Amino acid sequence: MPRDTAELFGKPTPRIDGVAKVTGAARYASDEPVANPAFAWLVTSAIARGRVGGLRLDSAKAVPGVIDILTHDNVGALAQPPAQMDGGPTTTTLETDQIWHDGQIIAIVVAESFEAAREAANRVEVDYVAEPPSATFDSPGVQVEPHKTTEDSKDPAKGDAAAALAAAEVKIDARYSTPTQHHNPIELFTTTCVWDGPHLTIYEGSQAMWGLKANVAKQLGMDPAMVRTISRFVGGAFGSRGGTTSRTAWIAIAAKRLGRPVKLVATRDQGFTIATYRAETRQHLALGASRDGKLTAFVHEGWEVTSRPSGYNVAGVDTTARMYACPNIATAVHVVHADRNTPGFMRAPPETPYMFALESGMDELAHALNMDPIELRRVNDTKIDPVSGKPFSSRSLMACFDQAAAKFGWSGRNPKPGSMRDGDWLIGWGCATATYPTNIGPAAARLAVTPEGKVTVQLAAHEIGTGAYTVVAITAARSLGLKVDDTTVMLGDSSLPPVTVAGGSNNAATTANVVYKACEEVRRRLAEAATADPASPLHGADAASLQLKGGTLMGPTGASEPFKAALSRVTGGVLEVHAENAPQGSKPGAVAGLYEGKSAMVRGTGRENVTTFAFGAHFVEVRVHERTREIRTPRVVSAFSAGTIVNPMTAHSQFMGGALWGLSAALFEATEIDRKTARYVNHNLADYLIPVNADVPDIQVLVVPEEDDQVNPLGIKGIGEIGIVGMNAAVANAVFHATGTRIRDLPIRAESLL
Amino acid sequence: MRPFTYERAGDLSEASRLGANTGQGQTDAPVQFLAGGTTLVDLMKLDVLRPTRVVDISPLGADLAGVALTSRGLHLGALATMSKVAEHPDVRRAYPAIAESLSLAASDQLRNMASLGGNVLQRTRCPYYRDPSWEACNKRRPGSGCTAIQGYNHNHAVLGVDENCIAQYPGDLGVVLAAFDAEVELSGPSGARLLAFTSLHRPADGEPHLETNLRPGEVITGFNVPAGAWTRRSLYLKVRDRSSYEFALASAAVGLDMDGETVRQARIGLGGVAYRPWRSPEAEAVLVGKPLDEATAKAATDAAFAGAVTHGGNDFKPELGRRTLVRALLQAQSLPVSEAS
């Protein structure tokens, strides 16, 4: 039985790695010092479909300092493609001469210097055998098919949605689209490989230390025990570093061929094509309701672009169908195969695009009903997951709406579109629901504590910028009654106990629960020894009732002894425990699978008795110039309710950063594709727009307290992704309120409103 | 980036001698002048520009970085930084459009490095120009074709384009200089000369690889912007999706000389929409002698965009350009301006 979580958590705590980060002492993967490295540069394809007919390398080889050039011809047989997180196939690189997409790796130059490698790569001449490519939706040659469903992931369906829609008193029926987007973490995609005899060490920013290790070992036909992956700090991941991509194995092979370390720092533009991205979607949404606003029909269909071989898709209808009470549900998802790189996870992969349609549609329905959009959500709020019939473990959606609305001043809104203005600027206020499923994964951790109260916690978890080191330190120190400042945390190394992939916002729940379990083991051993020792003031007490608090082992009556005395009774040196946690609902073998690099998660929709989600509400003000139609966003209020908040300080950053990215997804971000050649054209941070400081509005984040003892023992819901969800719709709804124009295609730009 | 020889020019004659092969802005010119480097180094890293010799003219800055306001007008040294001119009190007071065009451009870091001479020569942001993996680009590889015309042309030009190139001139200051009758001071192997600013950039006219009318070895040493009643009542309006650090979707430089409600003279430049720094004498002519109101402003903008040619992605530009100019004209009319010089 866990301690009162309010006693453990909720105190704003600065990042324990903050000083290291701002002083440059924190080592990101490419900062790791290696002896005498050679430098790699990727040569990537300038066509999207065809084959490499030949490579003319003489000019490149003549560049002083060039050591080696890897091509299909000389290394293609040495590695298999990396396994995909979805289990399906993906595009190849040097394994064959086939070109699947723009910017595919077709050769790798290795040289004595970064500059020589770059120059030589620019001098590689490629003879292509080109075929006409298919770029995206509506391009000739794309193949459309229903996405694959499994017993665990069926498309939500209930009742007779078509009939209910036909009979609905009020309905909306609309099509929406969301664009291609790229993560663009500020840390570029890098890989450094070092061999020591048969042992391979890979330094690479990763969200899956053990997954990367197992996957690369398999690609190279090695025993995974011979591979170590290190990624102590990650400069942003957002899903882009969850799966293994092609470059890693080739850099390992380059290092092996040379007998010296090889370092690759891919360029910003290469990052658009050698890693993953959020694919563009098209969606159809139809909602039927009675006059009082109660939903009677829900129809949501999606189309998603993917590569030729991969069936990757995000199928966000699995979330949207659960948002509101509705007796009739029909959903479908299709994949559209084009000559593109394979997409992948990007912050709230299903929810960001699919909640845009639902939450825009809810606003349209509210307008059609002449009803306040908050009230429409209230009328359809539900404590029961409408798809599965299971209760939500907790759902504070309307509390989030009400508190954010009050803070925002929503009651002062004139609902008539175009009715509010300030000089030449039209003002619009919009809102939308945010949500994200609550997931948790299996994990292992090692914890050592000295009599002086110095704690070391080790696990192969991932600091992707979220504050993971601090979450672990807080959990360990507070559970042991010791100090955060006396706690050392080691993460990001596959030689440490395995943790599931840092995805699906599971990290805080996963790591805190396993570390708590380790601390509980320490407490148990100290308590059992103390209660058995006649010399202890706690002698004879019930060991289960003892707690570690304030540097002591304390009984329920107030009797206590110093931590040092309690620990020294058990060991003269250091007490170390190894804990493993399989969260409730885990499939058999989940923990064993961790050691094979498998990532298993208990999902919010995959629990036996409950459905687990976190909820929130966004409110945004937009201003649109009446003539030139630029859109500005002076203020945002967002409220979230997500169970136990481990560290309110870093949680605030997560919520705020998510809301800001949501604004960016609504107004700025889109990867543009040359339709004829299926090539990206704005693959840099000048032309791929993201907000600058002047665009960053006043973002106020509210946290609505919530206790949920069903999600996991510590009541933690993930918060890494929920912040982005729904903000795109809130902005679109605000633009409609400002102008009377409903924009259903993102991003919304001045030209959308001319 | 490819290896190159770096040389520093100690004086103008040395600059002209070392820069004898700078050409007329051809991408493959073997010699490039380096000042702030904010466009040159960028394009060298992208392997677009591959000079074998880079001639650094920043040592000339001591003589060529001045800002002087006289009764004849404003003189700007070519090596003055964008930030210095943007913040200069005389410029802000007497030529607000110039100050605004500079402070709305780029970022603080870039404005601190970039020179005025380099700024007006900034090369297009056309993605097909800036990435040599695209085969067809008439500006980069003469005669190879234009990928943008049938490709992604969201921010490409609609004025002054031809069937060979629709690249957009990305700068801001140049738009104001074109509107304000500025002239460019040049120094070259055959001595000094003056050129109308509107003649500095060549029209598309089938040879987009030739960017300027500079002669090989010529260095821009400064700009003269004549005095006129319109410089004081002037502004630069830049419309873009992002609040800062973005090239214009459409911009307008407007200077007005008003006689009460009536326009005595107007100066109108357009940015974000044209192949080169664009002045619209057609729009100016519509306004002269008329009261400035919504109707006359719209008539002027219709004249300005009468020759616009669009290519799909930039279909929105003429309408946004017209709206931008109407807004700029009406805003300039209502500026509080003291008539004293």
Residue of B nearest to A424 (CA): B327
**Are B250 and A628 within 8 A, CB to CB?**
yes
Residue of A nearest to B250 (CA): A628
Kindly state whether residue B58 falls inside one of the protein's structural domains. no
Q: Which of A594, A623, A656 is the last residue in one of the domains?
A: A594
Same domain for B210 and B319?
no
**Residue A252: DSSP 8-state:** H
pLDDT for residue A641 is more than 90: yes
pLDDT at A419: 98
pLDDT for residue A85 is more than 90: no
Q: b/e per residue, B243-274, with b = 16+ CB within 10 A?
A: ebbbbbbbbbbbbbbbeeeebebbbbbbbbbb
Q: Which of A118, A668, A682 sits opposite B127 (nearest CB)?
A: A682
Kindly state whether residue A143 falls inside one of the protein's structural domains. no
Which residues have C-beta within 8 Å of that of residue B37, sequence separation ≥ 6? B113, B118
**Cβ(B277)–Cβ(B197) under 8 Å?**
yes
pLDDT at A87: 87
Same domain for A117 and A252?
yes
Q: Which residues of chain B are within 8 Å of residue A677 when distances are taken between CB atoms?
A: 147, 151
Domain interval for residue A564: 442-594
CATH no. for residue B270? 3.30.390.50
**Cβ(B231)–Cβ(B225) under 8 Å?**
yes
Q: Which residues of chain B are within 8 Å of residue A630 when distances are taken between CB atoms?
A: 239-241
Kindly state whether residue B144 falls inside one of the protein's structural domains. no
Whole-angstrom distance, CA of residue B131 vs CA of residue B105: 23
Same domain for B252 and B304?
yes
**Are A668 and B242 within 8 A, CB to CB?**
yes
Same domain for A129 and A46?
yes
**Cβ(B58)–Cβ(B80) under 8 Å?**
no
Whole-angstrom distance, CA of residue A56 vs CA of residue A75: 17
Q: What value does the mean pLDDT of chain A take?
A: 97
Kindly state whether residue A404 falls inside one of the protein's structural domains. yes
**Are B316 and A628 within 8 A, CB to CB?**
no
Same domain for A681 and A552?
no
**Are A750 and B125 within 8 A, CB to CB?**
no
Same domain for B72 and B195?
yes
Same domain for B191 and B233?
no
Q: Which residues of chain B are within 8 Å of residue A628 when distances are taken between CB atoms?
A: 239, 250, 320, 323-324, 327
pLDDT for residue B341 is more than 50: no
CA distance B217 to chain A (A): 28
pLDDT for residue A117 is more than 90: yes
Same domain for A41 and A164?
no
Going by C-alpha positions, the residue among B136, B158, B163 that lies closest to residue B147 is B136
**pLDDT tens readout for residues B323-335:** 999 999 999 999 9
pLDDT at A458: 98
**Are B242 and A754 within 8 A, CB to CB?**
no
What is the DSSP pairing of strand B73-77 with strand A125-130? Answer: unpaired
**pLDDT tens readout for residues A210-245:** 999 999 999 999 999 999 999 999 999 999 999 999
Kindly state whether residue A72 falls inside one of the protein's structural domains. yes
Kindly state whether residue B215 falls inside one of the protein's structural domains. yes
CA distance B316 to chain A (A): 6
**Cβ(B118)–Cβ(B38) under 8 Å?**
yes
Q: Which of A115, A631, A681 sits opposite B127 (nearest CB)?
A: A681
Q: Which residues of chain A are within 8 Å of residue B320 when distances are taken between CB atoms?
A: 628-629, 750-751, 754
Same domain for A72 and A195?
yes
In a 3-state reduction of DSSP, which class is residue A540?
coil
Same domain for A71 and A216?
yes
Going by C-alpha positions, the residue among B5, B201, B331 that lies closest to residue A423 is B331
CA distance A617 to chain B (A): 25
Kindly state whether residue B25 falls inside one of the protein's structural domains. no
Going by C-alpha positions, the residue among B199, B226, B227, B223 that lies closest to residue B213 is B199
Same domain for B195 and B299?
no
pLDDT at B339: 54
Q: Which residues of chain A are within 8 Å of residue B135 when distances are taken between CB atoms?
A: 46
Going by C-alpha positions, the residue among A147, A150, A88 that lies closest to residue A606 is A150
For chain B, the residues whose C-beta falls within 8 A of a C-beta of chain A are: 1-3, 47, 125, 127-128, 131-135, 147, 150-152, 154, 239-246, 249-250, 316, 319-320, 323-324, 326-327
**Are B152 and A115 within 8 A, CB to CB?**
no
Kindly state whether residue B294 falls inside one of the protein's structural domains. yes
Options A280, A304, A359, A721, the catalytic residue: A721
Which residues have C-beta within 8 Å of that of residue A754, sequence separation ≥ 6? A629, B316, B319, B320, B323
Same domain for A497 and A638?
no
Least confident of A704-708, B22-26, B91-95, B108-112: B22-26
Same domain for A327 and A387?
yes
pLDDT at A3: 74
**Are B128 and A749 within 8 A, CB to CB?**
no
Going by C-alpha positions, the residue among A188, A187, A183, A237 that lies closest to residue A212 is A237
Same domain for B240 and B291?
yes
Q: Which of A115, A691, A754 sits opposite B320 (nearest CB)?
A: A754
Q: Which residues of chain B are within 8 Å of residue A754 when distances are taken between CB atoms?
A: 316, 319-320, 323
Count residue pairs from A and B with Cβ separation < 8 A: 84
Place of tokens 């006359």: B296
**Residue B217: DSSP 8-state:** T
Give A398: exposed, middle or buried? Use CB within 10 Å, 0-12, 13-18, 19+.
middle
**Residue A511: DSSP 8-state:** H
pLDDT for residue A1 is more than 50: no
Q: Which of B3, B133, B320 sits opposite A46 (nearest CB)?
A: B133
ipTM reported for the complex, 2 dp: 0.96
Distances (CA, A) of A114 to A41, A57, A239: 8, 18, 28
Same domain for A168 and A46?
no
Which residues have C-beta within 8 Å of that of residue B278, sequence separation ≥ 6? B159, B160, B169, B175, B178, B269, B270, B271
pLDDT at B338: 61
**Cβ(A223)–Cβ(A301) under 8 Å?**
no
**pLDDT tens readout for residues A494-543:** 999 999 999 999 999 999 999 999 999 999 999 999 999 999 999 999 99
Kindly state whether residue A479 falls inside one of the protein's structural domains. yes
Q: Which residues of chain A are within 8 Å of residue B51 when distances are taken between CB atoms?
A: none
Same domain for B219 and B87?
yes
Same domain for B194 and B235?
no
Q: Which of B185, B200, B226 is the last residue in one of the domains?
A: B226
Q: Which residues of chain A are within 8 Å of residue B246 when distances are taken between CB atoms?
A: 689
A546 residue type, one letter: L
Same domain for A226 and A282?
no
**Count of domains forming chain A:** 3
CA distance B152 to chain A (A): 5
**CA torsion through residues A498, A502, A508, A513, sign:** negative
Same domain for B240 and B302?
yes
**Are A750 and B327 within 8 A, CB to CB?**
no
Q: Which residues of chain B are within 8 Å of residue A101 when distances are taken between CB atoms?
A: none
* Band of pLDDT at residue B336, cut at 50, 70 and 90: confident
Going by C-alpha positions, the residue among A169, A404, A354 that lies closest to residue A746 is A354
pLDDT for residue A153 is more than 90: no
Q: Which of A530, A565, A594 is the last residue in one of the domains?
A: A594
Interface test with A, best of B48, B129, B241 (most A CBs within 10 A): B241
**CA torsion through residues A410, A413, A417, A420, sign:** negative
Same domain for A256 and A313?
no
**Cβ(A357)–Cβ(A283) under 8 Å?**
yes
Whole-angstrom distance, CA of residue A187 vs CA of residue B101: 33
CATH no. for residue A43? 3.90.1170.50
CATH no. for residue A353? 3.30.365.10
Residue of A nearest to B240 (CA): A630
**pLDDT tens readout for residues A74-84:** 999 999 999 99
Same domain for B206 and B315?
no
Place of tokens 């058995």: A532
Domain interval for residue B250: 229-333
Tell me the mean pLDDT in the region B30-54. 96
Kindly state whether residue A199 falls inside one of the protein's structural domains. yes
Residue of B nearest to A751 (CA): B316
pLDDT for residue A259 is more than 80: yes
| Token reading at A423 | 């000089």
Output the CA angle B19-B24-B27, nearest 5 degrees.
Answer: 90
Q: b/e per residue, A413-438, with b = 16+ CB within 10 A?
A: beeebbebeeeebbbbbbbbbbbbbb
pLDDT for residue A569 is more than 90: yes
Q: Which of B131, B242, B323 sits opposite A692 (nearest CB)?
A: B242
**pLDDT tens readout for residues B174-218:** 999 999 999 999 999 999 999 999 999 999 999 999 999 999 999
* Residues facing A673 on adjacent strands: A680
Q: Which of A667, A689, A754 sits opposite B246 (nearest CB)?
A: A689
Whole-angstrom distance, CA of residue A517 vs CA of residue A445: 9
Kindly state whether residue A742 falls inside one of the protein's structural domains. yes
Distances (CA, A) of B111 to B66, B86, B116: 16, 9, 10
**Are A692 and B244 within 8 A, CB to CB?**
yes
**pLDDT tens readout for residues A7-43:** 899 999 999 999 999 999 999 999 999 999 999 999 9
Residue of A nearest to B48 (CA): A122
- Checking phi first, is residue B143 left (phi over 0); if not, alpha (psi -120 to 50) or beta? left
Cβ atoms < 10 Å from Cβ of B148 = 32
Q: Which of B226, B254, B269 is the last residue in one of the domains?
A: B226
List the alpha helices (DSSP H) in A168-259.
209-220, 247-258
* Band of pLDDT at residue A152, cut at 50, 70 and 90: confident
Same domain for B210 and B322?
no
Q: Which of B128, B133, B320 sits opposite A751 (nearest CB)?
A: B320
Q: Which of A119, A681, A749 sits opposite B152 (nearest CB)?
A: A681
Same domain for B188 and B241?
no
**Cβ(B68)–Cβ(B85) under 8 Å?**
no
Kindly state whether residue A602 falls inside one of the protein's structural domains. no
| Token reading at A737 | 């309120």
Whole-angstrom distance, CA of residue A572 vs CA of residue A100: 62
CA distance B117 to chain A (A): 22
pLDDT at A20: 97
CATH no. for residue B110? 3.30.465.10
Q: Among residues of chain A, what percentage have pLDDT more than 90? A: 97
Kindly state whether residue B190 falls inside one of the protein's structural domains. yes
Same domain for A457 and A552?
yes
**Count of domains forming chain B:** 2
Q: Which residues of chain A are within 8 Å of residue B310 when distances are taken between CB atoms?
A: none
**Are A695 and B243 within 8 A, CB to CB?**
yes
The rounded Cα A9 to chain-centroid distance in angstroms is 23
Distances (CA, A) of A369 to A44, A362, A397, A617: 53, 10, 21, 21
For chain A, the residues whose C-beta falls within 8 A of a C-beta of chain B are: 46, 115, 118-119, 122, 269, 625, 627-632, 667-668, 672-677, 681-682, 686-687, 689, 691-695, 749-751, 754
| Token reading at A570 | 């058990």
Is residue A721 annotated as part of the catalytic site, yes or no?
yes
Whole-angstrom distance, CA of residue A632 vs CA of residue A515: 44
Q: Which of A46, A674, A749 sits opposite B241 (nearest CB)?
A: A749
pLDDT at A2: 62
Kindly state whether residue A147 falls inside one of the protein's structural domains. no
Q: Among residues of chain A, what percentage have pLDDT more than 70? A: 100
Residue of A nearest to B319 (CA): A754
Distances (CA, A) of A722 to A410, A592, A612, A615, A656: 22, 30, 13, 8, 10
Q: Which of A220, A250, A274 is the last residue in one of the domains?
A: A274
Kindly state whether residue B141 falls inside one of the protein's structural domains. no
**pLDDT tens readout for residues A412-464:** 999 999 999 999 999 999 999 999 999 999 999 999 999 999 999 999 999 99
Which residues have C-beta within 8 Å of that of residue A138, sequence separation ≥ 6? none
**Are A629 and B323 within 8 A, CB to CB?**
yes
Q: Which residues of chain A are within 8 Å of residue B3 when distances are taken between CB atoms?
A: 119
